[in-house]
Amino acid sequence: MYVCNCNGIREREVRAAIAAGARRPADVFRSRACSPKCAKCVCDMRGMIAESKEALRYAAE
C-alpha cells in the first residue's frame, strides 16, 4: 500500500525508514531522496512513527 502517492513511497518503505532511525516525516523523505509535495501523507507518517515509539516503550517495560 502506498503511504505517499506523490513520491511512490510504500508502507513497508516507511517502516524500514523508521526502523533505520527516522523520527520525523522529513527523515522518511530524506531516506527516499525525495521531498514532500502535497504533504497529505505527513499525518500518516507521523502516526506510523508514533506507533513505533509506543511499541518500543512497551517493549522496554
Residues forming the site for ligand FES (CB under 6 A): 4-7, 36-41
Q: Which is nearer to ligand FES, 36 or 52 (CB)?
A: 36
CB of 58 to ligand FES, least distance (A): 29
* 41 contacts 9 by C-beta, under 8 angstroms: yes
Closer residue to ligand FES in complex, CB, 37/53: 37
Contacts of 32 (CB under 8 A, 6+ apart): 7, 9, 13, 17
Identity at 22, one-letter amino acid code: A
Q: How far is the CB of 2 from ligand FES (least distance, A)?
A: 8
